[in-house]
Structure 1
Amino acid sequence: MNHLLRQLSLLFAVLGGGVACIVAAMTVTSIVMRAGLSRPIAGDVELTQFGIALAISLCLPWAQLHGANIIVDFFTQALPERANRRLDALGALLLAAMCALLSWRTSVGAIAVREAGETSMILDLPMWWTYASLAPGLALSALVALVQAWRGGRGQALVEN
């Protein structure tokens, strides 16, 4: 696998993990403030939804790179390894297409939402930020899956150890 692709996926995963940790800390703080002071953090639900969506999109490339996504292989267990590699390559190609489509559509959605001036309900944050922040993780996931499909099409293992 390309060293740059691996390093970029790792960087995205670390950022995604950091975002998830920040969301967790904010959630705990909000709960403590709600219980102790009857004043939770305003917009905590909005921030949690945005943060977790961002964390997931940033972690997807790393998960794909390491073959950590769920694979249902009940019906293909008995097939020869070569057939399984080709099916895995096809799956990677389909995932690449789906992630590329989602990245493109979230980018287009970000532009449309920005032009409409849509904001979040409680904090009045611009919603286009949310859409725009999801696109890079999805695009990198598409690239990782495309490289894996190419590797699988050449008879190589999709995931390097």
Structure 2
Amino acid sequence: MIWLRRLALWSALAGCLAGCAVALLTVLSIVGRALWSRPIPGDVELSQFGIALCIALCLPWCQLQRANIIVDFFTQKAPPRVNRVLDAVGSLLLAVMVGLLAWRSAVGAQAVREAGEITMILALPMWLSYATLSPGLALTAVIALVQAAGRMEAR
């Protein structure tokens, strides 16, 4: 499990770097627009790519820390065993969902690559944005599976 924790940490750090790069890009573009009437061309395209990457790379750490939103209004007074089973089922469902998203992102990247789609302003290949989502989503799926198995073993 230590290797999974390290992977999630490095993934989150890379995601934070992507987020910081988007913030810097946005500031520079706004300053350029305000002072010289010259924003950074394609700033919106780059921001969309960067934020999608940031989110996908930070998801594994979020799942590892169990920092997702949990609505426990109905289960607050349930026995610990019931909560463990519900947590395991929730982790399993999340693993299936993000696993499917990782798979479809990879398939989508291949389809967009074959179609030769590019962005409007910078003419960047669109498949890159799809392809960068898959690793973070796949790592989230693995972490959620490990957590589901751990919760079921704790029974």
2:25 equivalent to 1:41? no
Count the aligned residue pairs.
Answer: 155
2:73 equivalent to 1:74? yes
Corresponding position of 1:139: 138
Deviations, residues 54-73 of structure 1 (Å, cap 9, x unaligned): 00000000000001111111
Code of the residue aligned with 1:76 in structure 2: it is T
Deviations, residues 62-90 of structure 1 (Å, cap 9, x unaligned): 00000111111111111011110110000
Corresponding position of 1:159: none
Corresponding position of 1:154: 153
TM-superposed CA distance for 1:119, in Å, is: 0.4
Corresponding position of 1:130: 129
Code of the residue aligned with 1:100 in structure 2: it is G
Code of the residue aligned with 1:150 in structure 2: it is A
Corresponding position of 1:97: 96
Where does the alignment leave 5 or more consecutive residues of structure 1 unmatched?
Answer: 157-161
Question: In 1, distance between residues paired with 2:87 and 2:72?
Answer: 10
TM-score when normalising by structure 1: 0.95
TM-score when normalising by structure 2: 0.99
Q: What's the RMSD between the two structures over aligned residues? A: 0.7
Code of the residue aligned with 1:32 in structure 2: it is V
- Report % sequence identity: 63
